[in-house]
A and B are shown apart, each in its own frame.
Chain A
């Protein structure tokens, strides 16, 4: 029943996908996490199976598209786009949880003057809109979803196109960094500023400093593998929290906040001394 398949490696995890329709393979490859490399390994850690439905042999019969992760059915739908969305989300989730040598934190990330600005936050906290505004203001694009940290606390690009929310219940729009007039980064950076913020209409951004311990907590509560790999997560997050100043405060519109964030990042890009922090 399976016509063809492909295996790839992403952050040390080997993943296989098999399909019953060869023409679907090129489409699903677009869902692979950034930086994935094809591999000839005969054994994989995760196996996805995509059964493409559509019109059946019998007249008037249509089959569902179905996607499985190992033996678990993830989605059964008539809309092929929903299959692709589910596959992309699940692949990202698996990689973020099980990545070897990298720690994934839910965060938007941009680069500015040689340092990364890290905006930890869960889905719906307004990361993407702030990241988009920062990229439009000249920052380089790293990710609107994950800060990918190495053992030294540097952040690596995870440049999936930005996922801009539209009306409630509507699928998100995908926008590339260059569509915003920005560029997607390719090199890792040390973290220069952590911004903990949530969007509140009408608010103006008047941030206050967080202690390194508070910054550590803000990162930990957004760390995907916090429970699965605490021995890896704690030292990396401690490293980031100790090297970068952190600010917190609700923000208003992203465009108005972006300029202020970049200004703060410039002010704080000098070697940081936590003992000289000031609250404002």
Chain B
């Protein structure tokens, strides 16, 4: 199965090196760094994982199929692929830490690691709340980088929260 980037019900925009994607179905916004965006854009359903890997040196990355699989896993988690691809990829899954080590061994700088950052777009009530809504709808607090760090706040009462292992989730 070749990966195919989702085209329907999304808005995309470019902001310098980052690509912004807004998921109109799930009301989530994603930021893709240059590497993640480049791989995502090449997912046309025709290009194989090996071919995707072969294109990585243009970005200053090693032609590593594991790096492509790592990126595809994250793209799938963000619902930015048309079909699920991880079952076909097989395991084991490479963690971010391991991937960073592999890149370091290949002499590649860590900023080229594919990164997808996501938040849930707020409802009007959420926008007025002092908490933020992070990935997977988990309530959190905003860290020094301006990102939403989940699970650091108690449940808010205003949005029918459910407690999950990751923290408090607002519906």
- A residues at B contact (CB < 8 Å): 93, 96-97, 106, 122-125, 196, 198, 208, 210-218, 220-228, 230-231, 234-235, 238, 241-242, 246, 248-250, 274-275
Residues from chain A with Cβ under 8 Å of B22 in the complex? 230, 234
CB distance from B75 to the nearest CB of A (A): 17
Residues of A within 8 A of B119 (CB): 217, 220-221
Interface size on B, residues (CB 8 A): 31
Contact assessment for B11 and A230 in the assembled complex, using a CB-CB cutoff below 8 Å: yes
Task: Say whether, besides A106-B127, A216-B15, A216-B31, A223 and B122 are in contact (CB < 8 Å).
Answer: yes
Pair A210/B146 contact, Cβ less than 8 Å: yes
Given contacts A213-B18, A217-B119, A230-B11, contact A222 B127 (CB under 8 A): yes
B145: CB under 8 A from chain A? Answer: yes
Q: Decide: A218 and B29 in contact? CB cutoff 8 A.
A: no
Cα(A222)–Cα(B123), bound, Å: 9
**B130 an interface residue at 8 Å Cβ cutoff?**
yes
What is the distance, in angstroms, from A69's C-beta to the closest C-beta of chain B?
14
By the criterion CB–CB under 8 Å, are B123 and A227 in contact? yes
Asked if B90 is at the interface of the complex by the 8 Å CB criterion, the answer is no
A224: chain B residues within 8 A (beta carbon) = 124, 127-128
Structural contact, A212 and B121, CB atoms closer than 8 A: no
* CB proximity to A under 8 Å, residues B85-114: none
Instruction: Give the one of B29, B124, B127 with max A CB within 10 A.
Output: B127
B126-145 interface with A by 8 A CB criterion: 126-133, 142, 144-145
| Chain B 147-168 residues near chain A, CB threshold 8 A | 147-148
Would A198 and B142 be within 8 Å (CB), given that A124-B130, A224-B124 are in contact? yes
**A/B interface sample: 13 pairs, CB < 8 A:** A106-B128, A122-B130, A124-B130, A210-B145, A213-B20, A214-B146, A217-B29, A217-B148, A218-B142, A221-B119, A227-B122, A230-B11, A238-B20
- Verify A215–B122 contact, CB threshold 8 A: no
Is B48 an interface residue, CB under 8 A from the partner? no
Distance, CA A221 to CA B143, complexed state (A): 14
Please, which residue of chain A has its CB at the minimum distance from the CB of B27?
Answer: A227
Q: Which B residues are CB-close (under 8 A) to A124?
A: 130
> What's the minimum C-beta distance from A244 to chain B, rounded to whole angstroms?
12
| A218 surroundings in chain B (CB, below 8 A) | 142, 146
- Indicate whether B117 reaches chain A with its CB closer than 8 angstroms: yes
The answer to whether B121 and A220 touch across the interface, beta carbons within 8 angstroms, is: yes
Tell me the smallest distance from the CB of A129 to a CB of chain B, in Å: 14
A221 x B11 contact (CB < 8 A): no
Taking CB atoms, residues of chain B closer than 8 Å to A249 are: 144
Contact B130 A123 (CB under 8 A): yes
Given A210-B145, A230-B121, A249-B144, check contact A217 B31 (CB 8 Å). yes
- Distance, CA A198 to CA B122, complexed state (A): 19
Chain B neighbourhood of A125, CB < 8 A: 130
- Contacts A217-B29, A217-B31 known; A274 to B16 CB distance under 8 Å? yes
Q: A214-B146, A216-B31, A248-B146 are in contact. Are A221 and B122 (CB under 8 A)?
A: yes
Q: Once bound together, how far apart are the Cα atoms of A217 and B127, in whole Å?
A: 12
Cβ contacts under 8 Å, A216 to chain B: 15, 20, 29, 31
A238 engages B13 (CB within 8 Å): yes
Q: Which B residues are CB-close (under 8 A) to A238?
A: 13, 15, 20
Contacts of A220 in B (CB 8 A): 29, 119, 121-122
Inter-subunit contact A122/B127 (CB<8 Å): yes
Q: In angstroms, how far is the closest chain A Cβ from the Cβ of B118?
A: 9
- B117 cross-chain contacts in A, Cβ below 8 A: 213, 217
Q: Would you call B11 and A213 a contact (CB within 8 A)?
A: no
